[in-house]
Structure 1
Amino acid sequence: MKNSIPQKVEAQQRYFSTGQTKDLLFRKDILKKLRNEIEKQEDAICDALYSDFKKPSFETLVAETQFVLAELKMMIKHLDLWAKPERVPSAILNFPSSDWIYKEPYGNILIISPWNYPFQLTLLPLISAIAAGNTAVLKPSELTPQTTAIISKLVSSVCSPEHVLVCEGDAEVAKTLLQQKWDYIFFTGSTRVGKIVYESAARQLTPVTLELGGKSPCVVDETAVPAQAARRIVWGKFLNAGQTCIAPDYILVHHKLKDRLVEELIKSIKAFFGEQPQDSKDLARIISNDHFNRLLGLLENQKILHGGSHNKTDRFIPPTLVDEPSMDSEIMQEEIFGPLLPIISYRDESELQTWINARGKPLAAYIFTKRKSFQKKFIREFSFGGGTINDTLLQISNKKLPFGGVGQSGLGSYHGKRSFDTFSHQKAIVKRATWLDLRFKYPPYNVPLNLIKKMKHIF
């Protein structure tokens, strides 16, 4: 595959130049066929994800296949409207004219997707790339081979390789792909790899969307409802065994509420996953041995409030609560991306600035409080991609909301119409009438300069 990549990319470039992918009926037909194939293969997709890292079928349906099918439904329904040229008010200077925005596909798209939600995070950008009229090459993660295999089967049953191609392989395949000339690159993954992608794209002046991550804080103040907050935090943190880019990474809890919150967190963990969580059918496993060992390393020299055991053969780590890690400890220096949850107490709100701002701008942030003034202050003072008040993860569920990071946590956003816009160049067109041609703009310039200075409103 690696050696044939340049030829396959050139084949896609030639195919795009035929104009076939720009046809709206063609785009909608592909999207409908893709929807039908996903519906037919939904059980097999669940089996593939379970095979890769024991992802519960419920989580696969809710956060992978149904999420993708909902996006397909919206894209098919609104494609005619979103692709239609958009008329905007004309500038007086251009009178008489009509002004328009045309939605034009970029061309050949590279989509590099991660392993944690391998189906959703591969198919979601693909749907939008196809809807906008592009061709695409997909590079799923090598850590989820069964899911990649079924994605390849789905795509090849609907699209020709000149239109959409799945490239399986490791980091060397990704490196070769990044050496090709692309019209747009969409990357989801770590900040470290995101920088490599961005650097490669910059050499060709290729536009990018980078969906990255970060240490997403979860603040619980003294007015929060402990039992409810605990349930919602445990659900959001340990979904997919904590391997979620917008999962709460650590808790900052008011010191007056800490003991009660910890008690309720443990209750919720036991209620959700039982006394023996390894026997639960609702907990995924850690994706790889390397990731497993990294997580165990983060627990070294830490005080464990709950959990902490492990089974390397099964790559299992239970929901684990870590008590008051120091600010410079390894567990507080990098995104955890696993079922470890540090709990840190604070006494004064000014301490939140120290903890949160020292870790860059996160992809997500959460706050549990009854105080509207604190909610407004938190939103105003901290920069982050998106978040939820008094719950976790829910900002991703509304397709009318943009999903994306800021600073180190990402560049650009998508979901819903924003996904279509992400993969479409907005081409500005002014259509001038021929029945009138005002002479003042042509040389020789005889209009007094003082008059020009008073004409700001026409520009």
Structure 2
Amino acid sequence: MSTKGPDSASSVGLVPYEDTLRRLREAFRAGRTRSAEFRAAQLRGLGRFLQDHKQQLQEALAQDLNKSAFQSDISELIQCQNEVDLALKNLRAWMKDEYVATNLLTKLSSAFIRKEPFGLVLIIAPWNYPVNLTLMPLVGALAAGNCVVLKPSEMSKCTEKVLCELLPQYLDQSCFAVVLGGPQETSQLLEHQFDYIFFTGSPRVGRIVMAAAAKHLTPITLELGGKNPCYVDDDCDPQTVANRVAWFRYFNSGQTCVAPDYVLCSPETRERLLPALQSAITRFYGDDPKSSPNLGRIINQKHFLRLQGLLRCGRVAIGGQSDESDRYIAPTVLVDVQETEPVMQEEIFGPILPLVTVRSLDEAIDFINQREKPLALFAFSNSSQVVNEVMERTSSGSFGGNEGFIYLTLPSLPLGGVGNSGMGRYHGKFSFDTFSHQRACLLRSPGLEKVNDIRYPPYSPWNQQLITWALGSQSCTLL
């Protein structure tokens, strides 16, 4: 089912969404989502939705963010389809009980971890990759056997409309609902108790969601953002670095939570990087980037005006043009920015890249470590020793050495933050694990009680010594 707002039309006097949540809870308690067959059917339905409505999704993404069909495919649709296919292929293996080692006291028992669904899950998605960041966690929630309330972003309104009107037709509506609306509706949802909450968005809103979850002691995953540093060593090929940094910075018009947010380099490297970045931008988007089919647009006027204000920080070395009527901001490079300026205090989330000069690798690492832990961190150098040193002496949700966020295409690697950039992880099996309660189970025969006498008081010196020894001995139980 989908609902355009609180359930007031059908349930006057009730708390908003109460009817919807009650129906989903009843379905979960009835065990409807538990079987592997049901979960697989839901995943296949999600896969069919992606295939049947590929064109509508591409058109919606073009209207919301000016994404080309190719960019929508590689960053959104293919990623989601791959996630569905992986879950279907591995579902039964992921669901299997995981047997664990026992000690001598439990040698006659069967010890294992059972992967159980949490129950009723709330997924709150953002607008910058409105298909990917909505459906990727949904795959994990469905595979794990949960009932789901999905809250897509109201900012990407065209994509929201497709998800609301078409996706419920492919899933069991007694176990799934789409809820529309903005901050007010989200706040009303968060007043209810869920069994798990998955939120993707800003650290500011993440704190609000976490505070709401804390009222009910609800477990939570927060996929947040922050300012992702990119260190560029003197020992590098500037054009190679510029190509890679520019592609990742300006992809989706910079509206990517794991994009490099600023570059740290020496003054000498900065002067080598600037013409290389200009060359890369021209190569990618032509002499008139505004007319390029490969450059996106800012999501709305509010964010456009915020980014336009950031263009006044430091000095524009490349780009800087903007057009409010088209929500267009050119691929821009800033230099001579001050640490206290807004562009270095807030996540940019747009096609603006500040270059900050440092005198040494140590100074760059200190600069990074004095700030909140980022969602992603990048280091470019011909020296593997330099790359490894940056990786070993810093902390971040993910790390790219001589590479950007292409690691997001690997379901074998988790996506997740640390500290201010979030908590929890997902993608591939990590998504299944995130939405599954790991239940510790120990089963033993009701007979053979004589064997248990050793653990009952009173304890003789011999009993104590034997129990101590038995507790310290581990053996692998294969059942």
Conserved in 2, the CA contact under 8 Å of 1:112 and 1:186? yes
Distance in 2, Cα, partners of 1:313 & 1:284 = 14
Conserved in 1, the CA contact under 8 Å of 2:103 and 2:470? no
Q: Secondary structure at the match of 1:192?
A: helix
Pairing 1:16-95 to 2, within 5 Å after superposition: 16-95=28-107
Distance in 1, Cα, partners of 2:453 & 2:78 = 60
Following superposition, the deviation at residue 301 of structure 1 comes to: 4.3
Conserved in 2, the CA contact under 8 Å of 1:31 and 1:131? yes
Conserved in 2, the CA contact under 8 Å of 1:440 and 1:447? no
Instruction: Kindly indicate whether residue 463 of structure 2 is the aligned counterpart of residue 444 of structure 1.
Output: no
| More off after superposition, 292-301 vs 72-81 | 292-301
The answer for unaligned runs of 5 or more in structure 1 is none
Which residue number in structure 2 is paired with residue 392 of structure 1?
404
Which residue number in structure 2 is paired with residue 182 of structure 1?
194
Instruction: Kindly indicate whether residue 145 of structure 2 is the aligned counterpart of residue 133 of structure 1.
Output: yes
Conserved in 2, the CA contact under 8 Å of 1:440 and 1:446? no
What amino acid sits opposite 1:181 in the alignment? Answer: Q
Distance in 2, Cα, partners of 1:91 & 1:401 = 33
What amino acid sits opposite 1:289 in the alignment? Answer: Q
Conserved in 1, the CA contact under 8 Å of 2:310 and 2:343? yes
Conserved in 2, the CA contact under 8 Å of 1:34 and 1:154? no
Conserved in 2, the CA contact under 8 Å of 1:250 and 1:342? yes
Instruction: Kindly indicate whether residue 392 of structure 2 is the aligned counterpart of residue 377 of structure 1.
Output: no
Distance in 2, Cα, partners of 1:99 & 1:53 = 51
Which residue number in structure 2 is paired with residue 15 of structure 1?
27
Which residue number in structure 2 is paired with residue 457 of structure 1?
472
Q: Secondary structure at the match of 1:439?
A: helix
- Post-superposition Cα deviations, 1:311-367, rounded to whole Å, max 9, x if no partner, equal 000010010000021111111001100000001122212211332123200000011
| More off after superposition, 44-53 vs 71-80 | 44-53
Which of 441, 444, 448 pairs up with 1:435?
448
Instruction: Kindly indicate whether residue 205 of structure 2 is the aligned counterpart of residue 193 of structure 1.
Output: yes
Which residue number in structure 1 is paired with residue 299 of structure 2?
287
Give the aligned length. Answer: 459
Conserved in 1, the CA contact under 8 Å of 2:28 and 2:119? yes
Following superposition, the deviation at residue 131 of structure 1 comes to: 0.8
Q: Secondary structure at the match of 2:417?
A: coil
Q: Secondary structure at the match of 1:387?
A: strand
Distance in 1, Cα, partners of 2:410 & 2:168 = 30
Pairing 1:208-357 to 2, within 5 Å after superposition: 208-357=220-369
Conserved in 1, the CA contact under 8 Å of 2:365 and 2:390? no
Which residue number in structure 1 is paired with residue 13 of structure 2?
none
Following superposition, the deviation at residue 225 of structure 1 comes to: 1.3
What amino acid sits opposite 2:235 in the alignment? Answer: T
Distance in 1, Cα, partners of 2:265 & 2:255 = 22
- Post-superposition Cα deviations, 1:223-279, rounded to whole Å, max 9, x if no partner, equal 111111110101000000000000000011233322111110010001100111111
Distance in 1, Cα, partners of 2:79 & 2:200 = 17
Conserved in 2, the CA contact under 8 Å of 1:119 and 1:147? yes
Which of 121, 131, 140 pairs up with 1:109?
121
Identity rate, percent: 39
**TM-score normalised by structure 2 residue count:** 0.93
Q: Secondary structure at the match of 1:142?
A: coil
Distance in 2, Cα, partners of 1:150 & 1:75 = 23
Following superposition, the deviation at residue 161 of structure 1 comes to: 3.1
Distance in 1, Cα, partners of 2:427 & 2:387 = 25
Instruction: Kindly indicate whether residue 176 of structure 2 is the aligned counterpart of residue 161 of structure 1.
Output: no
Following superposition, the deviation at residue 446 of structure 1 comes to: 2.0
Against the structure 1 CA distance between its residues 219 and 301, is the aligned structure 2 distance closer, same or farther, given a 3 Å change threshold? Answer: closer
Distance in 1, Cα, partners of 2:350 & 2:313 = 18
Following superposition, the deviation at residue 216 of structure 1 comes to: 0.3
**TM-score normalised by structure 1 residue count:** 0.97
Following superposition, the deviation at residue 162 of structure 1 comes to: 2.5
Regions of 4+ moved over 6 Å: none
Which residue number in structure 2 is paired with residue 424 of structure 1?
436
